[in-house]
C-alpha cells in the first residue's frame, strides 16, 4: 500500500469509522509536547476536574469515595495534589464494585474489556472510544520522535487467533490498507521463524512492534541461522518498539544486533492506558496530557524521589466508562523526574520492572514450538469466575494450571479452560488443573503468572 494513502486516507478513515478522534488528538499532542511544565499542569488539572466530576455524578462508588476523602469535584482549584487524598484503587476493589463504578451511558458508549495480563488476576472493566483515541494519539506522537509516521510499513510480532473468524479476516484486510503485517508470536516453530525472517526481508518495514521475548527469540534464531548483524532490518528501519513485558538487557542487545536498529520501550497496560514511551535520549516520557502516573514507595505510599523504584499508580484522564482513578497497575518503575536531554519537559520513568513473562515450549510433529505466554493468558482471562491463576510448565509435556475459583466458577468453566489450552499447546501436553485457595509468589518473589521451568 502507498504510504501517503495509508497514512493520510486509510488511517484517519478507520479511526473515524471506529468513532475515535485520534488524528485531532495527535495534532494536539504534537503541539502540547513543547509546552512548559506550568502550561501542562493547567491542562492536566482541567481534565482531572472533568474526570472527577463525571465519576462523582455517574458512579456511586466514586461519589462515596470522594465524600469520605472530603474531596469536592466541583472545586475549581482542585489539582493533582488533592488527588492524593484518595486511597489507591486495587484490582480486587474494582472486581467487587465494577457496576457501581461504571458509567454505561458515557459519551460514545462503554465497551467491556478483560485483562489478566501479567498479574494472573483476571479483571473485567469498561473502556470507551476517547481513551482508545488518546492512547493511539500518544503512541503516534512517541513514534514521531523516531521519525515514524502513520502509514509507514510496519511488521507486528503479536498475538494472533488460533482460528480466523470473519472479524479477524476483516482485521487482516484493514492491516493491509494501513501498511501493517501481523506475524503470530504464538506459534514460533523453526519453520515459522524462517518464514518470519523472509517476511522481514521482503517487506523491509520502517518500524517493528511486538513482545520483547518473542522478538528476542526470533532475533536469536536469525543470528543462529548466520544472518549477518542487522540482517532482519534494513537501512530504512527506524526502531523496534517493544511492549507488554519487561525488556531484559540481553534481549535488548540481541534484538538490536539482529535488526540493526534501536529498541524502544512502549509501556502501557490494558486497564490503565498508554503510560510512557521511550525517547532517543533513553528515557520513558509520560503522556501527561492523558494520564497521571505516580510512582509510590510501597511501604509509605508517598511519591519516590528520582532514581528510586516504586509502585506505578495511574489516573487515566480520558476514560469515563470505568474511571481508573489512582489505580495500582501492579508494575514497578524507577522514577526519572522532569525534563530530559531530548528537550521534552514531561515526567519521565527510567525503567519499568516487575513484569516478566516466560515463553511456553510445546512439542509438535514439526519440532518445538515457542509460544508467548499471553497465548495461554488469553484463554484464562476470558473465563467467568476465575479469581486468580498461574501456569507453570514443569517439563516439555507437563503443564500445571493453578486456579483460584470465585463464586460463579463451574465445572463447565474448567472444561472450557482445558479445551482452550489444549487448542493452544497441542495433544502431546499433559495438562493438570489444580484448584488452590490462593496463589503465593514464587521463591524469587516474582508475581509472574506464566512460568516455564523448561531450559531453552
Ligand atoms: Zn527524552
User: Residue 194 and residue 151: Cα distance in Å, rounded?
Assistant: 26
Cross-strand partners of 89: 327
For residue 280, the CA-to-ligand 1 centroid distance in Å is 6
pLDDT-derived band at 187 (thresholds 50, 70, 90) equals confident
Residues with Cβ within 8 Å of residue 266, at least 6 apart in sequence: 139, 142, 209, 241, 242, 243, 274, 276, 277, 278
Given a cut of 60, whether residue 82 has pLDDT beyond it is yes
DSSP state of 242: E
For residue 184, the CA-to-ligand 1 centroid distance in Å is 31
User: Residue 408 and residue 380: Cα distance in Å, rounded?
Assistant: 15
- Give the other-Cβ count within 10 Å of 136's Cβ: 20
Given a cut of 70, whether residue 399 has pLDDT beyond it is yes
Cell of 174: 484493514
Lowest mean pLDDT among 87-101, 280-294, 336-350, 427-441: 427-441
Cross-strand partners of 123: 115
Residues with Cβ within 8 Å of residue 400, at least 6 apart in sequence: 391, 392, 393, 394, 432, 434
pLDDT of residue 120: 65
Residue whose entry in the numeric block shows the C-alpha cell 490494558: 270
pLDDT of residue 83: 94
For residue 400, the CA-to-ligand 1 centroid distance in Å is 43
For residue 344, the CA-to-ligand 1 centroid distance in Å is 6
Give, as residue ranges, everything with CB less than 5 Å from ion ligand 1: 279, 281, 283, 340, 342
Q: Confirm if 143 and 207 have CB atoms less than 8 A apart.
A: yes
Given a cut of 80, whether residue 165 has pLDDT beyond it is no
pLDDT of residue 248: 79
User: Residue 164 and residue 385: Cα distance in Å, rounded?
Assistant: 27
For residue 347, the CA-to-ligand 1 centroid distance in Å is 9
pLDDT of residue 247: 84
For residue 286, the CA-to-ligand 1 centroid distance in Å is 10
Question: What angle is formed at CA 120 by the lines to CA 117 and CA 123, rounded to 5 degrees?
Answer: 70
pLDDT of residue 417: 92
Q: Percent of the chain, pLDDT > 90?
A: 63
Q: What end-to-end distance do the CA atoms of the chain give, in Å?
A: 39
Burial class for 167, CB neighbours closer than 10 Å (0-12, 13-18, 19+): exposed
For residue 334, the CA-to-ligand 1 centroid distance in Å is 15
Given a cut of 70, whether residue 414 has pLDDT beyond it is yes
- DSSP H or E segment with residue 367: strand 367-372
User: Residue 148 and residue 158: Cα distance in Å, rounded?
Assistant: 19
For residue 145, the CA-to-ligand 1 centroid distance in Å is 9
Closest CA to 207 of 145, 161, 269: 145
pLDDT of residue 91: 86
Given a cut of 80, whether residue 160 has pLDDT beyond it is no
pLDDT of residue 389: 85
For residue 349, the CA-to-ligand 1 centroid distance in Å is 10
Given a cut of 90, whether residue 385 has pLDDT beyond it is no
Given a cut of 60, whether residue 268 has pLDDT beyond it is yes
Q: Which domains does the chain have, with CATH numbers?
A: 3-133+269-353 (3.40.50.12780), 147-261 (3.40.50), 359-452 (3.30.300.30)
- Give the other-Cβ count within 10 Å of 163's Cβ: 6
pLDDT of residue 296: 92
For residue 71, the CA-to-ligand 1 centroid distance in Å is 34
Question: What angle is formed at CA 124 by the lines to CA 121 and CA 129, rounded to 5 degrees?
Answer: 135
User: Residue 144 and residue 405: Cα distance in Å, rounded?
Assistant: 45
For residue 117, the CA-to-ligand 1 centroid distance in Å is 28
Cα R_g (the chain), whole angstroms:
22
Q: Where are the alpha helices (DSSP H) in 164-297?
A: 166-177, 190-203, 212-224, 249-259
Q: What is the per-residue pLDDT across 276-319, written as a single tens digit (0 to 9) for each?
A: 999 999 999 999 999 999 999 877 889 999 999 888 999 999 99
For residue 284, the CA-to-ligand 1 centroid distance in Å is 7
Q: Percent of the chain, pLDDT > 70?
A: 95
For residue 426, the CA-to-ligand 1 centroid distance in Å is 45
DSSP state of 297: -
pLDDT of residue 371: 83
For residue 139, the CA-to-ligand 1 centroid distance in Å is 15
For residue 40, the CA-to-ligand 1 centroid distance in Å is 16
Given a cut of 50, whether residue 446 has pLDDT beyond it is no
For residue 37, the CA-to-ligand 1 centroid distance in Å is 14
pLDDT of residue 119: 59
Q: Confirm if 180 and 156 have CB atoms less than 8 A apart.
A: yes
Given a cut of 60, whether residue 45 has pLDDT beyond it is yes
Given a cut of 60, whether residue 444 has pLDDT beyond it is no
pLDDT, averaged across the chain: 90
* For range 367-371, the mean pLDDT: 85
pLDDT of residue 359: 78
SS3 37: helix
Amino acid at each position: 500500500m502507498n504510504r501517503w494513502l495509508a497514512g493520510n486516507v486509510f488511517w484517519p478513515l478507520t479511526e473515524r469509522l471506529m468513532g475515535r478522534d485520534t488524528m485531532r488528538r495527535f495534532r494536539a499532542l504534537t503541539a502540547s509536547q513543547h509546552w512548559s511544565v506550568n502550561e501542562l499542569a493547567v491542562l492536566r488539572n482541567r481534565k482531572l476536574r472533568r474526570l472527577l466530576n463525571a465519576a462523582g455524578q455517574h458512579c456511586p462508588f466514586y461519589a462515596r469515595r470522594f465524600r469520605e476523602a472530603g474531596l469536592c469535584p466541583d472545586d475549581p482549584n482542585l489539582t493533582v495534589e488533592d488527588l492524593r487524598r484518595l486511597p489507591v484503587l486495587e484490582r480486587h476493589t474494582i472486581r467487587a464494585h465494577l457496576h457501581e463504578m461504571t458509567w454505561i451511558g458515557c459519551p460514545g458508549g462503554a465497551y467491556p474489556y478483560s485483562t489478566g495480563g501479567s498479574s494472573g488476576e483476571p479483571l473485567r472493566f469498561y473502556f470507551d472510544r476517547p481513551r482508545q483515541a488518546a492512547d493511539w494519539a500518544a503512541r503516534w506522537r512517541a513514534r514521531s520522535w523516531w521519525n515514524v509516521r502513520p502509514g509507514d510499513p510496519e511488521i507486528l510480532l503479536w498475538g494472533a487467533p488460533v482460528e480466523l473468524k470473519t472479524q479477524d479476516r476483516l482485521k487482516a484486510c484493514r492491516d493491509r490498507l494501513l501498511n501493517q503485517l501481523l506475524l503470530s508470536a504464538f506459534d514460533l516453530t523453526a519453520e515459522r521463524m524462517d518464514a518470519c525472517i523472509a517476511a522481514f526481508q521482503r517487506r523491509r518495514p520502517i518500524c517493528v512492534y511486538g513482545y520483547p521475548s518473542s522478538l528476542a527469540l526470533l532475533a536469536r534464531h536469525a543470528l543462529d541461522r548466520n544472518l549477518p548483524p542487522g540482517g532482519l532490518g534494513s537501512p530504512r528501519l527506524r526502531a523496534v518498539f517493544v511492549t507488554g513485558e519487561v525488556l531484559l538487557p540481553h534481549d535488548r542487545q540481541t534484538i538490536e544486533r539482529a535488526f540493526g536498529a534501536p529498541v524502544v520501550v512502549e509501556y502501557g497496560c490494558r486497564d490503565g492506558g498508554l503510560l510512557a514511551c521511550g525517547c532517543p535520549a533513553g528515557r520513558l516520557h509520560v503522556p501527561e496530557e492523558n494520564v497521571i502516573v505516580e510512582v509510590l514507595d510501597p511501604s509509605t505510599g508517598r511519591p519516590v524521589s528520582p532514581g528510586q523504584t516504586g509502585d506505578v499508580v495511574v489516573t487515566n484522564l480520558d476514560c469515563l466508562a470505568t474511571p481508573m482513578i489512582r489505580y495500582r497497575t501492579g508494575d514497578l518503575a524507577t522514577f526519572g523526574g522532569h525534563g530530559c536531554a531530548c528537550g521534552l519537559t514531561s515526567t519521565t520513568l527510567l525503567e519499568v520492572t516487575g513484569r516478566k513473562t516466560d515463553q511456553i515450549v510445546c512439542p509438535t510433529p514439526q519440532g518445538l514450538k515457542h509460544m508467548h505466554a499471553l497465548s495461554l493468558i488469553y484463554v484464562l482471562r476470558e473465563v467467568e469466575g476465575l479469581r486468580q491463576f498461574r501456569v507453570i510448565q514443569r517439563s516439555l509435556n507437563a503443564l500445571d494450571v493453578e486456579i483460584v475459583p470465585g463464586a460463579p466458577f463451574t465445572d463447565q468453566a474448567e472444561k472450557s479452560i482445558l479445551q482452550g489450552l489444549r487448542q493452544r499447546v497441542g495433544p502431546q501436553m499433559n495438562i493438570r488443573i489444580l484448584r488452590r485457595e490462593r496463589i503465593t509468589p514464587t521463591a524469587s518473589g516474582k508475581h509472574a503468572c506464566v512460568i516455564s521451568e523448561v531450559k531453552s
